[in-house]
Structure 1
Amino acid sequence: MNMSDKVKKIFETEDIEFIDLKVCDLHGRLHHLSLPYSEAVLKKMMTEGVGFDGSSYGFRRVENSDMIMKPDLNTCMIDPFREAKTISCFTRVFNTDEQNTPYQYDLRNMALEAERLLQKYGIAHKSMWGPEFEFYILNAVEFQVNANESFIRIESDEQFGFNGYHIANPFDLYDDFRDEATRLLIKAGISVKYHHHEVGNKGQQEIEIFFDDLLNSADHIILTKYILHNLAAQKDLKLTFMPKPIYQQAGSGMHLHHFLLNQQKKNIFYRKGGYANLNQTALYYIGGILKHAPALCAFTNPTTNSYKRLVPGVEAPTAINFGQANRASCVRIPRYVKNVQETRFEYRPPDATANPYLALT
């Protein structure tokens, strides 16, 4: 079994009762399967895998739906929301042929393949991603649609009439929530850059995490959403990543900061004196993204609600262009970045309804 020293320590020091296997479907929804833990069970999982119905995930047709999942032990963490001591990890999906070959369209396998192609064609050794999470915390949400009536009612304890960006107490009601979420994220192995209140004055929040490679970043996006949703449920709050949950309030995006590293772990986008200190490779890279921006929306903005956010006047991207410090552009180049190793751009259209494995790949 291949596992890091950190994971070995978890198995050796914690009284584990269950091991929980997590898999994302094609929509980015998280599913899980729990098994009573023992060393024998773990060894069998690693060698034979655990069978499941791939058709329910959208991976296969019903007529040929048997698949296998195997845990990726380097993603293990203690699940803070389970009463029993449970170690949780992401998995990889395999076919049920004689060799148990990796399933080509398994989302985590696709992320690994994207990184492999990046290396194969000599573009870079690794891509680095830094997601921002914008979301609303609400006190109650009710809705009804039938032959006699239709309504939606959203209640928020935050009721101030001005821009909420970085607003301080007593107006920021959920800084303690964000503190607790940050502690849980760090325990789960996710490095947090900062958190703050966002523009929306009905409970909009932001948490930003540090850069990591493609697969880890996609895993971290799924895990961050899992932690935030479950923490809100514990506190009887409603948390939503909907891009535009409230009319005339700021929308919630999942902006993706992004750069590439070579084999020597040096940023390949930097050139002193170039536009925004970017070299030709970076500009071509941005050009490719802008050329395909409408098609990318299928992966980065997959819901009808996504497009209610992309309107003028609310700091949302509405132009297929790039520019320094321009939050109306698809691609913003942060002007405040001074560290050469973090020379980058921010792709602003995505929102958190996206499947991150597809959006990043």
Structure 2
Amino acid sequence: MCGKQHTELGVERLVEKLCRKCSLSLTEYELLVAQRTPKIAQQLAARAVEVRKRVYGTKVFTRGLIEASSYCKNDCLYCGIRRSNCAARRYRLSPDEIVECANNGYELGFRTFVVQGGEDPFFTDDVLCGVVSRIREAHPDCAVTLSFGERSPQSYARLRAAGAERYLLRHETASPELYARWHPSSMSFDNRMRCLGELRAAGFAVGAGFMVGAPFQTAADLARDLKFIELFRPEMCGIGPFIPHHATPFASYPSGSVELTCYVLSIVRIVVPNVLLPATTALGTIDARGRELGILSGANVVMPNLSPVAHRKDYDLYDNKICTGEEVAECRGRLGARMLSIGYQLVVDRGDVAPLSQTNRFETREEQRHGRSI
């Protein structure tokens, strides 16, 4: 057996182990990433889709995204709305405008609203709690998700009490060393991890997530991310390719790949079978069929933009972001048709995390053959 065949056989065994145990060691995750091949990626995607269909069927959940502010006090080196980008066009939606976006989305069939923004000091607890309460009062059958970065435990508790049920805080990387290379010294890896724990303690369904293909990132770094997801088990996980922004220190670095991003999506689906896993806008930005490829790799969420069209280009995290000029109904209609074309359907649903039972656990081919656990 040649070296290539031997390596591929070893990776196939890792895939089988992953499907059997939903867990690998750090070294095994690194090998799974570093020694991937198109054949292995195809196998992994098929297994991930089988897991996803067992838990969620062919439903694709929609989240109505409301980008509330492009002001941010932070200075992350990869982000287009970083504090030091003096050319950024700043805007801030008023509470009335945010509620109006949600009202419009409700009429179009959205039942979850994701209100996100930079870490803008304007959005105090009082302001955000007021927004959340108004949306929940108008639409009690809907879920409200927030994403406003690192806050205090008391803040998270107040937001949860106001009616927000979910909170997205991407950890970006589980490597402290890499985190330090991507962020200013005023931000700390330890604080980001503390916030994730405090969100869970406050009773939120928590969304973590990370970039793929970002500057200085290695297979070992991605292995740390996968192990973190395995152990933390977030209810949601946002994974997208790195895309550079022209006005940041990382402007000259290449984008991450669709191939590697989809490969990682498949692994995460198998590791946490009931995770809510978006096919991100960033994925659709670097490939015209990126979101479809994400769904075919195990994702089950898409996030059309409910923000006013006049401001969408100003929420400029990375270059060439798609869907900045489409009306919401048009975007949702196009997405629905694209999902149908690959055998999935957008649903009018809150899209809550599915409970797992033993019947949701992925059975290996050997188990299926013998009808027993091994």
So what's the TM-score if we normalise by structure 2? 0.27
Identify, as 1 or 2, the structure richer in strand: 1
So what's the TM-score if we normalise by structure 1? 0.27
Q: Which has the higher contact order (CA 8 A, sep 6+)?
A: 2
Q: Which has the larger radius of gyration?
A: 1
